[in-house]
Amino acid sequence: MKKSIEISPNIETLFGTRDENLHVLEDGLNINIDLRSDHIELEGAPRDVARAEQLFADYEHLQRTGHQFNNGDLNSMLRVVVGDPNVTLRGLAEAGRQRSFGRRTVQPKSPNQRRYLEAIESHDMVFGVGPAGTGKTYLAVAMAISALINKQVNRIILARPAVEAGERLGFLPGTLQEKIDPYLRPLYDALFDMLDPERVERYLEKNVIEIAPIAFMRGRTLNDSFVILDEAQNTTSEQMKMFVTRLGFNSKAVITGDITQIDLPNARRSGLLEAIDILQRVNGLAFVHFDESDVVRHHLVQRIIRAYDEHKTRLAEQQLSLLESKAATETKAANGKNGAAEGDAKPPGPPLEEPHVRD
């Protein structure tokens, strides 16, 4: 099927640098896009062409209403739209506008990120599990700030286990707050990226935003709060149970973690892994799993995560092969011993006759 679309003013901004956005549409919708002097030709299956036509119409509408796309947001949103037939560009952009919190808006850059944001909006407790760089913590902090500014909650509580990443930092000088700050720095970074520094300092001073190790959560009931537990893979079973039972009235909790980066000492079982097993079927909770396709850092990060995953898979296959080979060898040896034992045994003699008794 072929379809022609008139070129509207400034439609070329949709195309992207070196037409990269058009390539996303062609690959994702399996269509051909041909740019002419006064129109655009779309060719492909009727359903795919209709989706592309709707996308162009949505973009024209967003331009007329003054919507601005920042820092590659358009490319990311197009990837989400082509990956999910139920999502439209207009709906995605307007949903992002509703999540505005001042100088930024929360905009998903992958289908899993969209599901994550929707899960946070519709559930009181959400687990975001996946590799580094997929936006788990950043999006959770952004949603927390949005909820605070829109007066849906009265405070934000950010918690993290104080566990070193594979090395011992030793004694840290200073007050208790100065000792634990290095462990909580990523949460500060997310806050300062989204809010003015003066506003962050004011919120911290008034305890509207509280950042603390998870150990400080014991014994508390958190009402009217948006609570985030970051690096949850480094919680113990006891810490995780303690955290998920802190939730009070009109509160939300988001738990994020990467189960491939567990730094617990003495090979202790991660509280996050246990929670996934135990809470998977509890009503009212949501679990969102990310993979390397959701990484929004440098493009090399995706390749690095994929390489580690492939290496882990190869090791598992090698271990399985070794175990199977060992089992086969042991079975063969056992069968050989049984055969030898049967060969050494003497054949049974003729049956003994019963003695005859004379009358």
Convert 251-270 to b/e letters by CB count within 10 Å (16 or more is b): bbbbbbbbeeebeeeeeeeb
Residue type at 140? A
Ramachandran angles phi, psi of 87, nearest 5°? -105, 140
Contact 58, 88 (CB under 8 A): yes
Contact 291, 162 (CB under 8 A): no
* Residue 303, pLDDT score: 72
What is the SS3 assignment for 220? coil
* Residue 179, pLDDT score: 53
* Residue 169, pLDDT score: 44
Q: Largest alpha-carbon pair distance within the chain? A: 128
- Closest by Cα among 174, 178, 161, 165 to 262: 165
CA 84 – CA 104 distance, rounded (Å)? 25
CA 188 – CA 181 distance, rounded (Å)? 9
CA 290 – CA 296 distance, rounded (Å)? 12
With a CB cutoff of 8 Å and minimum separation 6, the contacts of 252 are: 120, 123, 124, 125, 126, 144, 147, 153, 225, 226, 227
* Residue 243, pLDDT score: 92
pLDDT tens for residues 250-301?
999 999 999 888 888 776 789 999 999 999 889 989 999 998 777 776 657 6
For the chain, which ranges sit under pLDDT 50?
Answer: 164-169, 359
pLDDT tens for residues 148-175?
988 999 999 998 887 644 444 455 555 5
* Residue 168, pLDDT score: 46
